[in-house]
Amino acid sequence: MSSVSSPAIRTAGAMPRLRWRSVVGYGFGDAGCNVAFQMTGLFLLVFYTDVVGIEPAHAGNIFLFVKIWDAFADLVAGRIVDRTMTRWGKFRPFLLWYSVPLLAANLLCFWIPVDGYGARLAWATVSYALLGLLYSMVNIPYGSLAGAMSQHPVDRSRLASARMVGSGVTILLLSIVLAPQLKSSDDLATTFALTAVAFLVVGAAMFATTFFTSRETVVRDVDRVSLRQTLHTLRANGPLLRLCVSSFFYLTAQNVVSAISVYVANDVLARYPGGGNWLATVVIIITTGAVIYVGPIGPMVTRLLGKRRGFVLAGLGSVVGGLLFAASNSLWHSLPLSLLGLFLVGFGMGLLNTMTWAMEADTVEFGEFRTGLRTEGATYAAFSFTRKVGQAVGAALASYILALVAYDGTRAEQDPAVADGIALWAGLLPAAIFLIAVGVMATYPLTEKRFAQLMTVIVRRRVHRVADDFAPPRSGDRPAPAPIEEGDRP
């Protein structure tokens, strides 16, 4: 072990570790967030095209507009968070203030009581935009909370894994309760509305659990950060920039997969021998829901490979899965091979999510290392901004794929050419975009060794500041800044 990394590792080992109660409780918060996020991500396009009667191209325009709106809402939410401090902390209060309005907005998205095509378009757009704004006011502080709960790398992987499991639990509930009814329900509109009502109650309990089990323990020198300080910190954060760009691409691909998965199950795979209503549940579980069984291995991957290598391998797995799915439907027409391809896509996506949430928390420390300021809210908002744009592009691309292949939501069965087109685009397009994300992440500079080194510097600076605070002032002297040693330099 090198002389540089040894004290860094000892510093990390001396950090207080999180109790399982806090880790599990944090995961409940992501389950609450995903009541709205995954229900709209998985089923809102189906609700628009098959229940409300909105044309796929118009639905794509709604997704594109609203998600870009959401992205800018994230920046506003990040500034509000950075300027907030209460007796409950900086981040936890937002879970109480905005969680119930968020879940109520989710209900409004799946309940459109107006007549006329234009009125339905307007209701769909406004309700989805309202949900996006409230989601930012909950998810930005929730995501930032992880960085304030612990600075230990493995604990952060545990928190990232917990939120992935929480997300997976919500997806599992949706796939079991809602997905099988998409072809069998006689009144799908009522089914969607009742599910949203039930999840309003369940989601509120999940957010309350996170609030009461989490604590903000990381020391900060500045409680409220100015806009100028925020912009300075973001400009100096190269690892955050690479993480944002890579996340834009992989979220684009992931949202193509999520939004089109129900169509893949019901219109592509259901054609094969052995297919049926069960396919929608299985496809959702092995793709979007893969986080529930992939999330727990995140800390192990971090210990064995590191987050950057874990990300690259996960992305390549999704590329292989997408190619296998496209080939199995175009060449071999095999249901087992198609499901295997989707499983590889989902496994890769689940691990990508686990790695990126842990990496985002690390970029907060890099910003503090460069500037001396902790800006969790702004850092998470910048990260979430690019994720939202990626989600917008991905959801819109899924809608445009349906328009391109002439999908007709009023028909019980689609023409074979339509199903073949969905299968081809659903495999090849995400695979190509995942590959771009991997290429960007290959240059990510903040390895585990580098993170340990900068944490040693941050801790040393804090010790110097504490010593200066307790030192008796000399007449006429201004407080001296913490000395910058050779190892402190970026």
Helix (H) or strand (E) holding 348: helix 335-371
Mean pLDDT, rounded, for 198-223: 84
pLDDT at 1 over 50: no
Give the pLDDT confidence of 31-74 residue by residue, as tens digits: 999 888 889 988 999 999 989 999 999 999 999 999 889 888 88
Share the mean pLDDT of the chain. Answer: 84
Structure confidence at residue 16 (pLDDT): 65
Q: Tell me whether residue 59 is in a domain.
A: yes
The predicted pLDDT at position 28 comes to 94
- Asked if pLDDT for residue 86 goes beyond 90, the answer is no
What range does the domain containing 43 cover? 23-214+236-463
Given pLDDT bands bounded at 50, 70 and 90, which one contains residue 15? low
Question: How does pLDDT run across 244-278, given as a tens digit for each residue?
Answer: 999 999 999 999 999 999 999 999 999 888 877 78
pLDDT in tens, 410-426: 887 889 999 999 999 99
What does the pLDDT read at residue 299?
A: 78
418 part of a folded domain: yes
What is the Cα–Cα distance from 43 to 48, expressed in whole angstroms?
9
Residue 13 located in a structural domain? no
Lowest mean pLDDT across 160-169, 307-316, 397-406 = 160-169
- What integer pLDDT is reported at residue 362 of this predicted model? 85
Looking at residue 224, its pLDDT comes to 58
d(CA 383, CA 363): 10
Q: Which residues pair with 89 in a beta bridge?
A: 86
Maximum mean pLDDT: which of 224-228, 231-235, 404-408, 412-416? 404-408
Instruction: Calculate mean pLDDT across residues 289-309.
Output: 83
Residue 228 has a pLDDT of: 66
Confidence check: pLDDT of 26 > 60 = yes
The pLDDT of residue 472 is 62
**pLDDT: which is higher, 8 or 25:** 25
* Crossing angle between the packed helical segments 278-286 and 238-263, to the nearest 10 degrees: 170
- Report the CATH number at residue 338: 1.20.1250.20
The candidate with the shortest Cα–Cα distance to 349, out of 288, 296, 435, 281, is 288
Q: pLDDT tens digit string along 142-181? A: 988 887 888 777 787 788 888 888 888 888 888 888 888 7
* Number of domains present in the structure of the chain: 1
Secondary element (H or E) of residue 78: helix 56-82
Percentage, residues of the chain above pLDDT 70: 88
In this predicted structure, what is the pLDDT of residue 488?
A: 44
* Percent of all residues in the chain with a pLDDT value above 90, rounded to a whole number: 45
Instruction: Report how far residue 423's alpha carbon sits from residue 230's, in angstroms, rounded to the nearest whole number.
Output: 44
pLDDT at 480 over 60: no
Q: Are 454 and 369 within 8 A, CB to CB?
A: yes
Answer whether residue 485 shows pLDDT above 70. no
Residue 12 has pLDDT above 50, yes or no: no
97 vs 84: CA distance, rounded Å: 13
pLDDT value of residue 5:
39
Question: Which residue stretches of 264-334 are H helix?
Answer: 278-286, 291-294, 298-304, 307-327
252 occurs within a structural domain: yes
Q: Give the helix ranges, DSSP H, for 150-237.
A: 153-177, 181-184, 188-213, 227-235
pTM comes to 0.73
Q: How far is CA 396 from the centre of its chain?
A: 18
Q: Any idea which residue has 């529930």 for tokens?
A: 292
Read off the pLDDT of each residue in 110-114 and give the average, rounded to a whole number: 94
- Burial code (b: 16+ CB inside 10 Å, e: under 16) for 316-351 equals ebbbbbbbbbbbbbeeeeebebbbbbbbbbbbbbbb
**Is residue 389 situated within a structural domain?**
yes
Q: pLDDT band at 321, cuts 50/70/90?
A: very high
pLDDT value of residue 127 = 97
- Per-residue pLDDT band for 9 (boundaries 50, 70, 90) equals very low
Residue 267 lies in a domain: yes
Q: Quick check: is 185 in a domain?
A: yes
What 181-189 contacts at long range (C-beta under 8 Å, 24+ apart), as own/partner pairs, is 182/43, 182/46, 182/50, 182/262, 182/266, 182/277, 182/280, 183/266, 183/277, 183/280, 184/277, 188/47, 188/50, 188/51, 189/51
Point out which residues pair with 86 in neighbouring strands.
89
* pLDDT score recorded for residue 130: 96
Residue 367 lies in a domain: yes
